[in-house]
Amino acid sequence: MAKELLKGNIAFAEAAIRAGLQAYFGYPITPQTEALEWMSSRMPELGRAFVQAESELGAINMVYGAACTGARVMTSSSSPGISLMMEGISYIAGTEVPAVIVNVARGGPGLGNIAPAQGDYNQIVHGGGHGDYYPIVLAPANIQELIDQTVLSFDLAEKYRSVVFLLIDGVLGQMMEPAELPPMRPISNKVPDWAVHGDAGRDKRILNSLYINPVDQEKVDIRLLKRWMTIKANEVRFKSYYTEDAEYLVVGFGTAGRVALSAVRAARAKGIKVGLFRPITLAPYPEKELEELSRKMKGILVVEMNNGQMLDDVMRITKGRVPVEFYGRPGGIVPLPDEVLVEIEQVLSNPLSLDGDPRERWLSRVEL
Amino acid sequence: MSLSVEINETAVYERPESLMDCLTHYCPGCTHGVAHRLIAEVIDEMGVREQTIGVAPVGCAVFAYNYFNFDFVEAAHGRAPAMATGIKRVLPDRMVMTYQGDGDLASIGTAEIVAAAARAENITVIFINNATYGMTGGQMAPTTLPGQVTASSPSGRDVENAGYPIRVSEMLSKLEGASYVVRRSLHDPKNIRQAKKAIRTAFEVQRNGLGFSMVELLSSCPTNWGMKPVDALRWIETNMVPFYPLGDYKVHPLVNELKF
């Protein structure tokens, strides 16, 4: 298939359809609404299920119902809508049924704004819903990755009976880039052996997230943790750039990682030995890979479009062995490559510290 | 010469196949059991047990999936109509039922039930109205009567403060998408028979693709009402029926043409 100019929201919607999506339920919210609109024409045209729900709460519970039948199902939303979905996401995780959720994140908290942001990192990566559960979280940085990882999401969701998030932002949702869509996959007729499907000739099946006896719930929670350990061992994905001889490392994901790559290239042009580490799976996080890489570094700069959320994970993973600095643009601002370059040079030219909170040093540098 | 006499036994009453042979957690005298049995009889009579998927609520019927003998899922509180929508849209030829209480359907799940009815979602809703939150111990429900004493309206429901009860059948009957919305009661055999007929009609509406169907069942909660079971049934008749009149609130003309 040839490359075509594709908008992010439409690219992931069409990629999902070609991956065999059987049902989509959503609610309009900027900056992801084009996905819902695309689904509203494409899904009925293909004889597949589409409902514009009464709310994100309705949408996620429709996803929950469809997921229980074993169908490939997804929803997409943006930050405030994802917050509303958290109830259903916890139930889906507790019931161990597969579902794919796209968060085209925007500035927050609260109603915030409709500009691109990464302030949902903690909510998506470290939970959000109640109870012990572990969603897989993918963070593409361009439209082609978004397409490829959408297809991957469904395979991972089904393989592990897990919730899979695609965590992108308004930039990736709204921007257009040349990219190639996958071929149309046929819809699977296979009904999983756990699905509530209303079939004749077998005992009844129940799907729920209710274990009234704590002894049973403990078993489920431990099973979920063990499954997560398998996912951690097998599904880590990341990209590194210019790290072979690097003395300094920039760490960033999604759009921030992409901007940081431009800054790293500009720094390289100036002869600065700096590389970029861009996690693609935010969960499971490429902990071992970052930890090993960090041992070779004199310093690390974490760049995010938030107040420093992944920063805490980087500091946990590097265990205080390497000085870590932070540069963030929260609230819906996308950093410029030049700003990141200034921060890289700043890391090089100032004495680095293993102590204190990098956010405090960042705040002392920024003027607002 | 043998003295044995051969007796030909004919079963006139037995457990429907759609009900599991098990104990329930329902309190003595509670009408959930009656409602369960009526649904099971209807499912058996229609021969759709193996094509039916139930959606259980949060509330006293939270374990309904253990008592019915067909596929079941368990929804979050109030979300059963949304979950049923997800199932029905993927499996349009299956029978999909939600079983919900008044807190679930008329308080926390109002948006979901109204939207499902407005969409003419082709599902059947069995709505148990016992004017209280049973599972959590008898607090005020959206259907609690004015003046009714509950665990969270100890002086009786004060409409100045708590507002008025919701008459769900009347409310949903105004929606174009609702094809069959009726209220019945489970307080005596005559009404129970009428309730069963309504449940059958509701499922036939779904089987024929006629859209949203709901049967509201006035039910007793002797434990939380603090009454003997018989007194509780009488209380339905004397207190609930006057406030929640029995009747057909919405019957699409096509429903009247159904033959079964």
Taking the C-alpha atoms of residue A221 and residue A93, their distance in angstroms, rounded to an integer, is: 10
Taking the C-alpha atoms of residue B179 and residue B98, their distance in angstroms, rounded to an integer, is: 16
Tell me the per-residue pLDDT of A344-364, one tens digit each, with 9 for 90 and over: 999 999 889 899 999 999 999
pLDDT at A97 over 90: yes
Tell me the per-residue pLDDT of B39-90, one tens digit each, with 9 for 90 and over: 999 999 999 999 999 999 999 999 999 999 999 999 999 999 999 999 999 9
Cα B141 to Cα A47, A269, B84, B157, B217: the distances in Å are: 41, 69, 23, 10, 15
Domain count, chain B: 1
Tell me the per-residue pLDDT of A36-53, one tens digit each, with 9 for 90 and over: 999 999 999 999 999 999
At B5, the pLDDT band (50, 70, 90 cuts) reads confident
What is the pLDDT at residue B4? Answer: 75
What is the pLDDT at residue A235? Answer: 98
Query: What is the radius of gyration, based on Cα positions, of chain B?
Result: 19
Q: Specify the pTM.
A: 0.96
* Cβ–Cβ gap B115/A198 under 8 Å: no
CATH at residue A271: 3.40.50.920
Residues 6+ positions from B129 with CB-CB distance below 8 Å: B101, B102, B106, B143, B168, B216, B217, B218, B219, B240, B244
**A249 and A228 within one domain:** no
Domain count, chain A: 2
Cα A267 to Cα A251, A260, A296, A298, A346: the distances in Å are: 15, 10, 18, 16, 12
Structure-model confidence comparison of residues A256 and A365, the more confident one = A256
Residues of A in contact with B111 (CB under 8 A): 54-55, 57-58
Domain extent, residue A293, equals 239-365
For chains A and B, count residue pairs whose Cβ atoms are closer than 8 Å: 129
What is the pLDDT at residue A366? Answer: 83
Residues 6+ positions from B213 with CB-CB distance below 8 Å: B123, B124, B125, B178, B179, B180, B181, B201, B202, B203, B205, B206
| Closest by Cβ to A196, choosing from B68, B72, B82 | B72
* Cβ–Cβ gap B71/A198 under 8 Å: yes
**A319 and A211 within one domain:** no
* Cβ–Cβ gap A23/B72 under 8 Å: no
Taking the C-alpha atoms of residue A303 and residue A300, their distance in angstroms, rounded to an integer, is: 10
Q: Which of B70, B90, B88, B71 is nearest to B125 (CA)?
A: B88
Tell me the per-residue pLDDT of A3-21, one tens digit each, with 9 for 90 and over: 999 999 999 999 999 999 9
Residue B13 lies in a domain: no
- The mean pLDDT value of chain A amounts to 97
List the 22-61 stretch of A: residues with Cβ below 8 A of B.
Answer: 22-23, 25, 49, 51, 53-55, 57-59, 61
Residue from A22, A61, A199, A213 to probe the interface with B (highest B Cβ count within 10 Å): A61
Q: Average the pLDDT over A199-215 and give the result.
A: 96
The burial class, CB within 10 Å (0-12 / 13-18 / 19+), for A286 is: buried
**A252 and A219 within one domain:** no
Cβ atoms of B45 and B82 within 8 Å: the answer is: no
pLDDT at B6 over 90: no
Domain extent, residue B96, equals 32-256
* A62 in contact with chain B, both atoms CB, cutoff 8 A: yes
List the 128-147 stretch of A: residues with Cβ below 8 A of B.
Answer: none
The burial class, CB within 10 Å (0-12 / 13-18 / 19+), for B217 is: buried
Question: Which of A195, A214, A234 is the last residue in one of the domains?
Answer: A234
What is the pLDDT at residue A326? Answer: 98
CATH at residue B182: 3.40.50.970
- The mean pLDDT value of chain B amounts to 97
Q: Average the pLDDT over B231-245 and give the result.
A: 98
What is the pLDDT at residue B1? Answer: 57
Q: Which of B245, B247, B236 is nearest to B31 (CA)?
A: B236
Tell me the per-residue pLDDT of A311-322, one tens digit each, with 9 for 90 and over: 999 999 999 999
**A218 and A104 within one domain:** yes
pLDDT at A368 over 70: no
**A194 and A280 within one domain:** no
**A9 and A139 within one domain:** yes
What is the pLDDT at residue A244? Answer: 97
**A329 and A203 within one domain:** no
Which residue has tokens 């979905």?
A85
Q: Pull the structure tokens for residue A304.
A: 């995010």
Cα A58 to Cα A25, A54, A128, A129, A322: the distances in Å are: 8, 6, 18, 16, 46
**A174 and A94 within one domain:** yes
Cβ atoms of A106 and A117 within 8 Å: the answer is: yes
**A228 and A252 within one domain:** no
List the 215-254 stretch of B: residues with Cβ below 8 A of A.
Answer: none
Residues of A in contact with B55 (CB under 8 A): 65
Burial letters A173-186, b for 16+ CB under 10 A, else e? bbbebebebeeeee
Cα A350 to Cα A297, A298, A353, B227: the distances in Å are: 15, 12, 9, 78
* A71 in contact with chain B, both atoms CB, cutoff 8 A: yes
Q: Pull the structure tokens for residue A16.
A: 């999902």
Residue from A39, A60, A62, A199 to probe the interface with B (highest B Cβ count within 10 Å): A62
CATH at residue A24: 3.40.50.970
Cβ atoms of A290 and A236 within 8 Å: the answer is: no
Taking the C-alpha atoms of residue A64 and residue B86, their distance in angstroms, rounded to an integer, is: 7
What is the percentage of chain B residues whose pLDDT exceeds 70? 99
Task: Report cis status (omega within 30 of 0) of the bond before A284.
Answer: yes
Tell me the per-residue pLDDT of A288-319, one tens digit each, with 9 for 90 and over: 999 999 999 999 999 999 999 999 999 999 99
* Helix, strand, or coil (residue A115): coil
Question: Which of A209, A234, A259 is the last residue in one of the domains?
Answer: A234
Residue B27 lies in a domain: no
**A222 and A206 within one domain:** yes
Q: Which of B41, B168, B44, B53 is nearest to B101 (CA)?
A: B168
Q: Closest residue of B to A201, CA-based?
A: B50
Cα A207 to Cα A195, A356, B122: the distances in Å are: 8, 48, 22
Question: Which of A218, A234, A250 is the last residue in one of the domains?
Answer: A234
**A274 and A228 within one domain:** no
* A331 in contact with chain B, both atoms CB, cutoff 8 A: no
Taking the C-alpha atoms of residue A301 and residue A276, their distance in angstroms, rounded to an integer, is: 9
**A291 and A187 within one domain:** no
Q: Average the pLDDT over B237-244 and give the result.
A: 98
Q: Average the pLDDT over B112-133 and give the result.
A: 98
ipTM of the complex: 0.96
